[in-house]
């Protein structure tokens, strides 16, 4: 049986932004999509916090919530 080296066959693929084949609208969308991992999430329900939300320090850790309701629910669950 032959040993096959999968890593040597992998090609480095450029993103559509790097290829330069996008319109300005598409480029803006893709930049937002690629930056999505920088969006904070509510520590209780996981909703995206695009406008900062509510920041609370709980047990020495800064957590972010989408609403007061989620903040209270989180505190109650401790």
Q: How confident is the model at residue 72 (pLDDT cuts 50, 70, 90)?
A: very high
* Residue ranges of domains in the chain: 39-78
In angstroms, the CA 14 to CA 39 distance is: 24
pLDDT for 64 equals: 94
Inter-residue contact 41 to 70 (CB < 8 Å) = no
Inter-residue contact 50 to 29 (CB < 8 Å): no
For 55, phi then psi, to 5°, come to -100, 130
Q: What integer is the mean pLDDT of 5-34?
A: 62
Q: Say if pTM beats, i.e. exceeds, 0.75.
A: no
Q: Is the per-residue pLDDT at 67 higher than 80?
A: yes
Model confidence at 6, pLDDT cuts 50, 70, 90, reads low
Cβ contact 78:69 at 8 Å: no
DSSP letter at 50? T
């Amino acid at each position: 049986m032959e040993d096959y080296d999968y890593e040597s066959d992998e090609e480095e693929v450029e993103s559509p932004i790097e290829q330069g084949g996008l319109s300005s609208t598409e480029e803006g969308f893709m930049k937002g999509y690629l930056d999505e991992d920088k969006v904070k999430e509510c520590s209780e329900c996981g909703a995206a916090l695009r406008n900062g939300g509510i920041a609370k320090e709980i047990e020495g850790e800064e957590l972010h919530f989408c609403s007061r309701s989620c903040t209270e629910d989180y505190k109650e669950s401790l």
